[in-house]
């Protein structure tokens, strides 16, 4: 959600902080600000809105140490008053904070009784005043004492006009430190560090660190600690839109390459899978729980369905925030937890609860150094690279591909079925390119959908999670109220909303439910709704019923969701473009939801 950035070194802190904030814009935000230490003390600049509004407010100045944050409002509305950084009464201490302080109301009233004056509605401001209360010249000690009073979650960054170090701490919210030569950088996520350093260290829950231009010192539970240094494989070029107008479109076009790379990494020539560390087949598995939030939940739904098709016992899916695992002694149960960032608060909490209930756990994530990755038994990295647009595209497809490969490894079909399925998998990247080449047809389809305030998507079987993801994309980037339904459910209520101003998008795949879905199309047609059919099967009857048919390449029906998902992403993109929506930064949304 919020993106924190801090710098200490010998270079211009102003420019580096503003650039860093731009690189964490994808996390979603509604206000931003920076604090820079100068000869005259701390200089604080804030704005409601995006970094381009902040930049002209910040004059050039001599300052080589500073902090900043892009804020996504949780407590207190989006405004300059509530934007970070927040300062103490003296103006000598400033903080930026990502997370929730659950006991802030009690602490704020206590601070007010002690004479502290507050200038915002946020929970975060109380942290600055707590540090002020305990500050006697030792900033790290004051921060440590303040943390003991705080309940909730935080990625915290503190600067003082009286200190040569920045102080940072984390609890259930990510902090990564970039290690440079004569300079160091602190951030919520790696993109803020790109171009400055390739060496990073991730703080763990309960860590507190002091960061100067020359060194980083970490404490855990008041004892010195060390954190492993990792080398970042991403580059600053990953953050460039290149020839594309939007990151979302660029990331759609990257999907064939990403799936090709995943397959080449995990599948050997012929029909063999590359040897990997994950194995849950040591003894019979009693149940498989797939869970995630948002887009990741749709991937989890797909995973549960795909594993069931392969014969896995009791595979089911759930929204991570809504499932509470129970103990079942003697059973071999696994939880497969899907999260793009690996920092989704509800998914991390479920991982911990599942472990306590006796589950073994696998994380399917794009960030193998994430908080989720550190609390599970096994990691399945989706290898999608940096995704900048708030709305997921390539990370979703990478999740589906990773779950398919995991399923085939753990529950392989017999030899007669495995070979043809793997061969169809190998063809998926080329077929994805064919889907992307249909962009003009999908743009015309968007012209039928984009004028409407509402739309329905209908599907059956393995396409239902993809329809739900397509509906989410229309909500997220095109601001269309779209709902996805199993085709058989449309007549149980939603039919009341059908009409000439409510388009229906049908995902029609050549599987066992084809005839029933065809009947539903006829029922929709009778109600006057415009119909767009996305299908892999040419059918004259469908051509006659639909206002437009998008014909996709054929593949194994179990893999068809991969192609359908990309078609829906392109459709949503053109709907958003035609409606004039801010595609890469939708209102009120955050890329990484790190609070409950």
> What is residue 278's predicted lDDT score, i.e. its pLDDT?
40
The answer to whether residues 555 and 579 belong to one domain is yes
Of 215, 238, 261, which residue sits at a domain end? 238
Domain that holds residue 30: 3-238
Give the domain-ending residue among 197, 213, 238. 238
Is 2 catalytic? The answer is yes
What distance in Å separates the CA atoms of residue 440 and residue 574, rounded to the nearest whole number?
10
pLDDT band at 276 (very low <50, low <70, confident <90, very high): very low
Is the pLDDT at 270 greater than 70, yes or no? no
472 shares its domain with 401: no
Query: Does 85 share its domain with 193?
Result: yes
Only one residue has tokens 């009073």, namely: 149
| Catalytic-role residue among 2, 32, 293, 581 | 2
Q: Per the omega criterion (within 30 degrees of 0), is the bond before 85 cis?
A: yes
| Tokens describing residue 473 | 């994309």
In percent, how much of the chain has pLDDT > 70? 94
Claim to verify: residue 424 and residue 298 sit in the same structural domain: yes
**Statement to judge: residues 268 and 133 lie in one domain:** no
CA atoms of 274 and 265, how far apart (whole Å): 7
Residues 293 and 192 in one domain: no
Residues ≥6 apart with Cβ < 8 Å to 183: 7, 8, 9, 10, 11, 196, 213
Q: How confident is the model at residue 277 (pLDDT cuts 50, 70, 90)?
A: very low
pLDDT of residue 590: 66
Same domain for 286 and 427, yes or no, is yes
> Residues 461, 376: one domain?
no
In whole angstroms, give the CA distance from residue 75 to residue 82: 9
The pLDDT tens digits for 334-357 are 999 999 989 888 999 999 999 999
For residues 233-253, average pLDDT:
86
pLDDT band at 280; cut points 50, 70, 90? low
**Residue 91 main-chain phi, psi, to 5 deg:** 75, 10
Segment 39-56 mean pLDDT: 92
Distances in Å between the Cα of 113 and the Cα atoms of 76, 86, 143, 151, 568 are 21, 19, 21, 20, 56
Which of the following is catalytic: 394, 460, 473, 591? 591
CA gap 82, 86 in Å, rounded: 8
The CATH number of whichever domain residue 44 belongs to comes to 3.60.20.10
Same domain, 137 and 275: no
Residue 591 is a catalytic residue: yes
Q: How many structural domains are present in the chain?
A: 3
Does one domain contain both 370 and 499? no
Which residues neighbour 138 within 8 Å (Cβ) at sequence distance 6 or greater? none
Q: Is the dihedral of CA 485, 490, 495, 500 positive or negative?
A: positive
């Amino acid at each position: 959600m919020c993106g924190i950035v801090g710098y200490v070194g010998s270079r211009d802190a102003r420019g580096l902080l503003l650039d860093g904030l731009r690189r964490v814009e994808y996390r979603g935000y509604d206000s931003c600000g920076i604090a820079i230490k100068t000869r005259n003390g701390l200089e604080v600049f804030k704005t409601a809105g995006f970094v381009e509004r902040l930049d002209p407010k910040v004059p050039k100045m001599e300052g080589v140490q500073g902090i900043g944050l892009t804020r996504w409002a949780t407590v207190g509305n989006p405004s300059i008053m509530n934007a970070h950084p927040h300062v103490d009464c003296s103006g000598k201490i400033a903080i930026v904070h990502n997370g929730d302080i659950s006991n802030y109301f009690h602490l704020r009233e206590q601070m007010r009784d002690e004479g502290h004056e507050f200038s915002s509605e946020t929970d975060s401001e109380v942290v600055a005043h707590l540090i002020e209360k305990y500050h006697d010249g030792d900033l790290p000690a004051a921060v440590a004492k303040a943390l003991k009073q705080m309940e909730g979650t935080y990625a915290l960054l503190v600067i003082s006009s009286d200190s040569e170090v920045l102080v940072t701490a984390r609890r259930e919210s990510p902090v990564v430190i970039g290690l440079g030569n004569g300079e160091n950088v602190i951030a919520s996520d790696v993109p803020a560090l790109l171009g400055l350093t390739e060496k990073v260290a991730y703080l763990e829950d309960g860590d507190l660190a002091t960061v100067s231009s020359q060194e980083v010192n970490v404490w855990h539970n008041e004892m010195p600690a060390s954190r492993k240094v990792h080398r970042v494989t991403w580059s600053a070029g990953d953050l460039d839109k290149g020839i594309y107008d939007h990151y979302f479109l660029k990331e759609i076009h990257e999907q064939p390459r990403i799936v090709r790379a995943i397959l080449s990494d995990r599948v050997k020539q012929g029909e063999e899978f590359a040897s990997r560390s994950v194995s849950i087949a040591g003894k019979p598995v009693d149940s498989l729980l797939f869970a995630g939030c948002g887009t990741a939940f749709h991937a989890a739904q797909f995973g549960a369905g795909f594993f069931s098709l392969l014969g896995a016992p009791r595979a089911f899916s759930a929204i991570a925030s809504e499932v509470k695992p129970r103990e079942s002694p003697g059973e071999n149960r696994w939880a497969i937890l899907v999260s793009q960032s690996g920092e989704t608060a509800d998914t991390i909490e479920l991982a911990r609860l599942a472990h306590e209930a006796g589950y073994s756990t696998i994380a399917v994530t794009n960030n193998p150094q994430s908080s989720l990755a550190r609390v599970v038994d096994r990691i399945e990295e989706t290898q999608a690279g940096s995704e900048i647009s708030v709305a997921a595209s390539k990370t979703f497809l990478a999740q589906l591909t990773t779950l398919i490969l995991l399923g085939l490894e753990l529950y392989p079909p017999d030899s007669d079925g495995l070979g043809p399925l793997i061969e169809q998998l190998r063809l998926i990247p080329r077929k994805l390119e064919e889907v992307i080449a249909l962009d003009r047809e999908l743009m015309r389809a968007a012209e039928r959908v984009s004028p409407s305030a509402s739309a329905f998507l209908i599907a059956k079987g393995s396409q239902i999670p993809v329809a739900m993801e397509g509906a989410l994309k229309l909500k997220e980037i095109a601001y269309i109220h779209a709902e996805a339904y199993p085709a058989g459910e449309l007549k149980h209520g939603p039919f009341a909303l059908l009409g000439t101003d409510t388009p229906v998008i049908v995902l029609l795949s050549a599987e066992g439910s084809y005839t029933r879905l065809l009947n539903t199309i006829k029922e929709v047609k009778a109600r006057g709704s415009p119909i767009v059919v996305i299908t892999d099967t040419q059918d004259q009857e469908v051509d006659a019923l639909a206002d437009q048919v998008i014909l996709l390449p054929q593949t194994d029906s179990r893999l068809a969701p991969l192609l359908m998902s990309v078609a829906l992403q392109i459709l949503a993109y053109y709907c958003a473009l035609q409606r004039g929506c801010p595609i890469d930064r939708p209102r009120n949304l955050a890329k990484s939801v790190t609070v409950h």
